[in-house]
Chain A
Amino acid sequence: MSKDEVFEKVLAIIKPFAKAPEALASAGMETSILKDLKVNSARLVDVVLEIEDAFGIEVKDEDADKVKTIGDAVTLILAAKG
């Protein structure tokens, strides 16, 4: 799976949780999940669960805590997928 494909898939996972869905259109790797997309911080738990299911990976709590941007999530997923 390419980096672009992972990016698109992550964006689709985050979309229902975004309180600023208009920011999704211009989202890039540097886009902050909390500040730019206005995802409620409590919902990061749900985003990580969906990422685990969608990519068939397990995300450790300490790794999940480091995810701030969409790029952070993409990097984490690509590393887990090897």
Chain B
Amino acid sequence: MVVTGLGVLAPNGHGLAAFEEALRRGTSGLRFVPRLAELGFGCRVGGIPADVEAIQRAYLSQEELLAMNPNMIYAAIAAIDAWTDAGLARIPADADPDAATGAVLGTGIGGIDTIAEKLAPRTDAGKVSRLGSTMVEQIMSSGNSARVAGLLGLGNQVTTNSSACNTGTEAVVDAFFRVREGRAERMLAGGSEGHSHYIWAGFDAMKVLNRTRNEEPERASRPMSASAAGFIPGSGAGVLLLESLESARARGARIWAEVLGGHVNCGGHRQGGSMTAPNPTAVRRCVRAALDLAGVDGREIGLINGHLTATFADPHEVESWRAALGVAPGELPPIQSTKSLIGHALGAAGGIECVATVLQLARGFVHGSANCEDLHPALEPFAGSVVHETREAPGLRLAAKASFGFGDVNGCVVFARYQE
């Protein structure tokens, strides 16, 4: 199974060239968000893709945009990019759908901005007849994948998964198994999340967002640091096209990477896990199951793209990686947090970060994790593994990407550099 297409719309870059450049340079996509300040949020920093108003007009018609919120628009842009990157042509409107291709495109929160801005106020005012026809398709959980199916003409399974912050990675694992079972030749996989104070308010209320760095947005996302004080909310979309090797070879597709294995599980809110905290035993079980399926020994992994959000859980996560890979602290592979540059894009995080992982494998580099110069004291034994500065890594062969989400859910994917 291989990856033949990548699409990304991230707070620090749209498109593979811009995103790779941003990762290499350590360009932050985090900005002060005035609306959050007006509304009295504790955290007033967020990650929002730039210039989407202009970008979207190149991808979507006026008629299509009338019924799309940011979550759907982001998914559409990244999915179309992945499709085009894979060298595939869009199915004409009067042709049959592509029965061999489907999509698992997740979202964590979905269209609650549409609910809050339009559906609830008009309904409460007794103006149901003024809602128009576009509410359902924007607020149904599957709104993002449903729109992409129509834009591209997908005829295999098209669905939206949702497992909080594990969503994007889970989508890749689900798509991997569908292609592996032979039920599809190709699957688009990833996640999208819109940006809205309504999406972010609940997290601010929980005090899990960093409210201590509003004056220095680019330094506000601090995974693995001693000064980590919560995550910075982000948004965007990341989509991969997974394809059977046979199909990719038959059509002469360019291959980005190989997907060797993946796994998802849940900690059941036991053994230290809860709705909001991961059960470390289950995290380790998940990573090990992904490695086992991949047929890879933990010591062979050359890069860890962690979940690493900048909450209290970062040191626990790193220790779980160590235990799952079966290495001593000083032997942990290089570990990084893409969220240090783009914030936590919730349901889109896994998709965007899988794109980042595949890009690094294919291009042979490892991006620096920003804002952890003051490494968390509990991570001192791992100090040699934390990547601070971007470096070339031509020998990088295997990378593991994991995500963890509210609900005590976990996902892990093992990617390999493709070799003929």
Contacts and interface: CB of A to CB of B under 8 A. Distances in A.
Mutual binders A and B:
yes
Interface of A: 16-19, 40, 42-46, 49
In the A-B complex, the 3 residue pairs with the smallest Cβ-Cβ separation, listed nearest first, are: A45-B133, A42-B133, A46-B132
Nearest to B134: A46
Contacts of A40: 63
Interface string B109-148: 0000000000000000000001011100000000000000
Contacts of A16: 62-63, 66
Contacts of B66: 16-17, 43, 46
10 contacts: A16-B63, A16-B66, A17-B66, A18-B63, A19-B61, A40-B63, A43-B63, A44-B133, A45-B132, A45-B133
Nearest to B61: A19
A55 to B, nearest CB: 16
Interface string B52-71: 00000000011100100000
A16 B133 CA distance: 14
B132 A19 contact: no
Interface size classification for chain B: under 10
Q: What does DSSP make chain A's interface, helix, strand, loop or mixed? A: helix
Contact of A19 (B63, B133, B134): B63
Contacts of B61: 19
A45 B130 CA distance: 9
A40 B133 CA distance: 10
A63 to B, nearest CB: 14
B35 to A, nearest CB: 27
A6 B97 CA distance: 40
Contacts of A43: 63, 66, 133
A12 to B, nearest CB: 13
Nearest to B93: A19
A61 B66 CA distance: 23
A68 B61 CA distance: 24
A50 to B, nearest CB: 9
B131 to A, nearest CB: 9
A16 B134 CA distance: 14
A42 B133 CA distance: 6
Nearest to B129: A49
A49 B130 contact: yes
A42 B136 CA distance: 11
A44 B62 CA distance: 16
A32 B130 CA distance: 24
Contacts of A49: 130, 132
Contacts of B62: 16
Contacts of A17: 63, 66
A7 to B, nearest CB: 21
Contacts of B132: 45-46, 49
Nearest to A39: B63
B322 to A, nearest CB: 54
A46 B66 CA distance: 10
Nearest to B64: A19
B59 to A, nearest CB: 16
Contacts of A44: 133
Given A16-B63, A46-B134, 4 more contacts: A18-B63, A19-B63, A40-B63, A46-B132
Nearest to A42: B133
Interface in B61-89: 61-63, 66
A67 B66 CA distance: 22
